[in-house]
Chains A and B, each alone.
Chain A
Amino acid sequence: MLNKKSLQLAGEARRWIIFSAVVLFLKGLVYVVQVFAVAWILDGFVFADIEVAQIVIFAGVTAGLICAKFGLSLLEARFSFKISAIVKTSVRSKIFTKVKQLGPGYTESSGTAALVTNAVDGVESMEVFFGRFVPQFFYSLIIPLVLLAIGSFINPVCSAVLLAAVPIIPLSMVFISKWAKRSMGNFWDGYQDLSATFLDNLQGMVTLKLFNKSEKRLQEMEAQAWGFRNSTMNLLKMQLTSITVMDTLVYGFAGLGIGVVLLYFFLGKISFFGAIVLLLLSVEFFLPLRKLGSYFHAGVNGIQAGKKINAFLETEPSVKDCGKVVASQGFDIVFDNVSFSYNREKENLRNVNFCFEQGKIYGIVGESGCGKTSLAHLILRFFEVKKGEIRLGGCNIADIPLNLLRQRVNLVTNSSAIFSGSIADNLRLGKADASSQQMVDVCNKVGLFHLIDTPDGLEKSVGEAGAMLSGGERQRLALARALLYDAQVYIFDEITGSVDAESEKIIKETIYSLRGEKTVLIISHRKAIVEGADDIVTIKNGEIVGQQEVCCVG
């Protein structure tokens, strides 16, 4: 159930997990002492005239137990914090490191959804898993055996009967785990589906109202919810019944064990003291495993999340960072017989030979899916070429450290991310130490002056993912950020694809103002934006089929 690999995710926290289990174990021992003390004092009441001295001793023992329990509780909380904090930090940093290593090629081909699940929900599951489930798991394995040993001093048969019930719990848990994986999985999926539908409908409320569909949508939601409820409750009824059978068996055995204790006591084979001790201990035979059962969901979740995270961490990056610094001259980009495919089905680029000269502006056009964007992805090394090589300034880009390559070449797309925070925060992503004058200048350049011409100025918030800006404003902000970044080569991929005319005009002007200074590649399926480029390259089915000096374009 616990495999080595998921345990390795705990990293530094492993130590604290062991400590945590030890604390649980010590708590169990304290309870044993407490049981003996209580039995002893009751024994005193029953068989001897209780003396003040005995009560004083009992009070003394209780005081000792109080100190022990208090201290152990503090330690337990401390360790549980340590585990959470370390697991969260270390698993996340492993994920982050991997994300960086995998590069944009990974998110480009696999999306970010799985990544988000791993880093947010996955890490939370791991926290609970390591903080609660694993220590309890180890504790539950050991404590019944220890109790058996202690109970054997009083009467081996009685403790054996009590312990006989213990294996039923793990058995029942295996059973439950099979069920939990299946139906609880279904349950939570269905449950989350309902939430997603609810959110979807709330967000689309304006549309629903406009088409007079809100009432109907509510009824649909109701039907979906009740359908889900009824099937879940039926399933639950059936499954809970099976669990109840297990539960009944467990408690039945506890009852049976107690019955045996009573019988032995009745027959005079154990003392009153022994009977009380066994009686009180019988609970502790079962409680740890029961408690483990209540963490079970966390356990199942944690194991599954661990598997997913491990699988992610083992993903092989599609490009390797060479790490060595090489001398390159200038910023010409040369495609030397380059072929490339994302997968085996289709060759996205075939034998491409071309030289993008420094300081010139190139338009790259073609229908969607022709391989224009692959060109950009290859220059930035999201992916590795299959054949041939790409040189930047005479140097194979595979030999240029990725950081350096991405410092020299920048890509702006129509889905460039804007982050919540202020306009200045977003601009500083391009240049961390940008002065406010620089930021104001660049805003002016891309026609965003109206945004910062408010009391807030550059500190004006853009909302989550730039939600408070229009599409065109977001795009211009991404452009401004790229300009501040001051790369030598800029690739613009469909950046006027979904912006208004005014933004389109400004973006175009800004891009063309880079002529002579930077190498610029404008990728678009529209002719309009590349009019004015020094050179227009047409790509069809992965091959360059045409190249024309712009003066010839209509």
Chain B
Amino acid sequence: MSDRSVFLRLFRMVRPFSWLMVLSVLCGAVGHLAAIGLMGFAAAAVVQIVGFAGSGGEFPYLFAGLALCCGLVRGFCRLGEHYFGHDIAFRLLFDIRTKIFKALSRLAPAKLIDKRSGDVCSSAISDVEYVEIFFAHTVAPIIIGFIVSVVCLVVVGGLNLWYAVGLLPFYLIMGVVVPILSYKAAGKAGYEYRENLSAINSNLLETLRGVKDLILLNQAEARFAGLGEETQKNNQLFAKIKQHEGVVAGLSEVIVLLAVLGNVVVSAALYSRGGVGVREIVISAVVVASSFGPLFSLMFLANSLLNTRAAAGRIFELLDEVPVVGDCAGAVDVGAVGQTPELCGVDFSYPRSQLQILEKFNFSFTKGVLTAISANSGRGKSTILYLMMRFYDPEAGKVVIDGEDLRTMRLDMLRSNISYFTQETKLFNTTIIENIRIADESASDSEVQAAAKKAGIHDFIMSLPQQYQSRVSELGGNFSSGERQRIGLARIFLQDNEVVLLDEPVSNLDSETEQLVMNNLKEGLAGKSALIVSHRQTVIDMADEVVFI
């Protein structure tokens, strides 16, 4: 995608909130104008008094009153700007997150089944934040700067056209040329700096989390020193950015002073020709001197554009990705299925992979016969299960259940009919009981406990201070992979489907628990269509039938 289309698309994304954006920008612009107006009207009052000097004219109530009003308006505008700004940020974050969630929901499981899925998720989090910052802190200030500048030009132009002509170039330099130059000079360094920074931070995280082992290996000092060096190196970039920041900030100050000087020169030239009087001179001087505020905030805005561009690019790529499977036209709700899934003459290789995993592959098993698949790593054991769950579609041949091609069935129906136990069990950050109940929301507490008992995790849960109400987050890393796995198994027991596919169900369990769980599985799966993938001999031995691949 080109830069232009990425940014255009970004703007289209916020169209639903454009009215909020308008309100927030208006408040911001009026607020700035009020601050300038405060000075301008006060100056006008001074001039009016000067006009009457000595002749005992009336106090300039109008201008003094207007100045006071401007002061009051300023406060309320700040309220509005913040209020609407928060609202936009909020809606925007939520909206983009929803979009990403939906996109991933379409793309899962295929997209997320491999081990890099963590990267996809964590980069989505920070990418969304970049986009939010872009709108809340980049786009709004640009528009506000533009509006305020135009109004000021109109005001000084109204005093005398030449004032506007003299002021315009300074606005253009300050609002357009400086940001672009700044971006050209430091955009890349800024991008690099921020990328390095996040790399250093994740390195730091890893170091602290693994600090015990580093100390045990007497490597903590070396690792800390390494981090220090990386930080130092990145600091050189930071120094460059800061130096550049200093130059740009200095330059901006210079521009303001030159604008003030320019204004005086214009005034002098016009004054000598009698083109302007005291009123125009004083008011224009005050307005020019105090009108650069909103443009000041534009100086460095462009510097994070590269990061925003990269973040938005990643988001759009995700939103645009076509899922490898989806509901086909005319997919039907088949109700309950009871028979075993079957692979008929299947060819399969993973997307973007040359390796042919399955070729003219047939596989079936019998209902009521606990079947185990045994094979060495990499021979496509898990792939068979993926195909049965329709994570992927075969390139040739078909996968059927109850004689129907999976592609004719609705995906949600397929998934609610087949229990599938994955190698990694994901625990959500809620209570343990909620984590098990995800398999069947209508299950009673005692049903959940019965499932946990079968999975050999009940006693462990009861030993926790909060028992089933313990939140997963509070236990944090205290869940071993074996405990996670058993909670995963409890889900399967609770779901109690007619078709059950298990991928390495006891790989993280010790031999005693394994014994218990396998016995319960065998009992629970009696009479059902059950398929187990494992390379544990003890598991294979317990199956009624073993298929070697």
Interfacial residues, chain A to chain B (CB-CB below 8 A): 34, 38, 41-42, 45-46, 50, 55, 58-59, 62, 65-66, 69-78, 80-81, 84-85, 88-89, 92-93, 96, 99-100, 103-104, 107-108, 111-113, 115-116, 119-120, 194-215, 218, 221-222, 225, 229, 232-233, 236-237, 240-241, 243-245, 247-248, 250-252, 254-256, 258-259, 261-263, 265-266, 268, 272, 275-276, 279-280, 283, 380, 403, 406-407, 410-411, 414-420, 429-430, 432, 463-465, 467-468, 471-472, 478, 481, 485, 496-502, 525-526, 528
User: Given A77-B249, A251-B38, are A218 and B102 neighbors across the interface (CB < 8 Å)?
Assistant: yes
Complex contacts, B257 vs chain A, CB 8 Å: 34, 62, 65-66, 69
Contacts of B214 in A (CB 8 A): 417, 429
A-B Cβ contacts below 8 A, count: 377
Query: For chain B, what secondary structure do more than half of its interface residues adopt (helix, strand, loop), or is it mixed?
Result: helix
- Pick the contact of A498 from B83, B90, B203, B481 — CB < 8 Å? B481
Q: What is the chain B residue whose CB lies nearest that of A237? A: B83
Q: Contact mask B415-427 → A, CB, 8 Å, 1/0?
A: 1100010100110
Shortest beta-carbon distance, B403 to chain A, in Å? 23
Q: List 11 A-B contacts (CB under 8 A).
A: A45-B278, A46-B281, A99-B208, A100-B224, A205-B105, A236-B86, A410-B216, A420-B202, A429-B214, A430-B217, A498-B485
- CB pair B278–A259 under 8 Å, yes or no, is no
Contact between A202 and B104 (Cβ–Cβ < 8 Å)? yes
Q: Residues of B contacting A418 with CB < 8 Å? A: 210
Main secondary structure of the interface of A (DSSP, over half): helix
Interface pair B535/A243, CB less than 8 Å apart: no
Residue B164, interface by CB 8 Å: no
Q: State which residues 45-78 of B face A: CB under 8 Å.
A: 45-46, 49-50, 53, 59-60, 64, 67-68, 70-72, 74-76, 78
Interface residues of B in 179-214 (CB under 8 A from A): 201-214
CA gap between A432 and B225 in the complex, in Å: 14
B477 touches A73 (CB 8 A): no
List residues of chain A with CB within 8 A of the CB of B108: 205-206, 208-209, 214
Docked-complex contact A411 and B216, CB < 8 angstroms: yes
CB distance from A278 to the nearest CB of B (A): 10
Smallest distance from the beta carbon of A323 to chain B beta carbons, Å? 15
A298 CB to closest chain B CB (Å) equals 15
A81 and B238 contact, CB distance less than 8 A: yes
Q: Within the complex, what minimum Cβ distance (angstroms) separates A352 from chain B? A: 22
A247, B215: Cβ atoms closer than 8 Å: no
CA distance A56 to B74 in the complex (A): 37
Question: What are the 5 closest A-B residue pairs judged by CB atoms, nearest first?
Answer: A77-B246, A417-B210, A73-B250, A251-B71, A247-B75
Return A34 CB to nearest CB of chain B, in Å.
7
A213 to B481 Cα, complex, angstroms? 23
Of B94, B227, B416, most buried by chain A (CB within 10 Å of CB) is B94
Partner of B267, one of A34, A45, A213, A245: A45
* Contacting pair B268 A55 (CB below 8 A): yes
- Encoded as 1 (CB less than 8 Å from any A CB) or 0, chain B from 110 to 128 comes to 0011011111111011000
* CB–CB B50/A46 < 8 A: yes
- Complex formed: what's the CA distance from A544 to B523 in Å? 39
Asked if A406 and B242 make an inter-chain contact with CB atoms under 8 angstroms apart, the answer reads no
Structural contact, A202 and B212, CB atoms closer than 8 A: no
On whether the beta carbons of A525 and B510 are closer than 8 Å, the reply is yes
Q: Does B433 contact A (CB under 8 A)?
A: no
How far apart sit A496 and B72, CA to CA, in the bound complex (Å)?
71
Task: Specify which of A41, A233, A467 is in contact with B86 (CB 8 Å cutoff).
Answer: A233
Does B330 make an interface contact (CB < 8 A)?
no
Contacts of A115 in B (CB 8 A): 208, 211
Chain B residues lying within 8 Å of A69, measured Cβ to Cβ, are 250, 253-254, 257
B218 at the interface (CB under 8 A from A): yes
Question: Is B118 touching A464 in the complex (CB atoms < 8 A)?
Answer: yes
Select one of B246, B281, B416 contacting A42, CB under 8 A: B281
Docked-complex contact A203 and B117, CB < 8 angstroms? yes
Whole-angstrom distance between the Cβ of A359 and the nearest chain B Cβ: 22
CB atoms of A206 and B113 under 8 A apart:
yes
Given contacts A255-B67, A419-B206, A526-B511, contact A198 B415 (CB under 8 A): no
B512 CB within 8 Å of chain A: yes
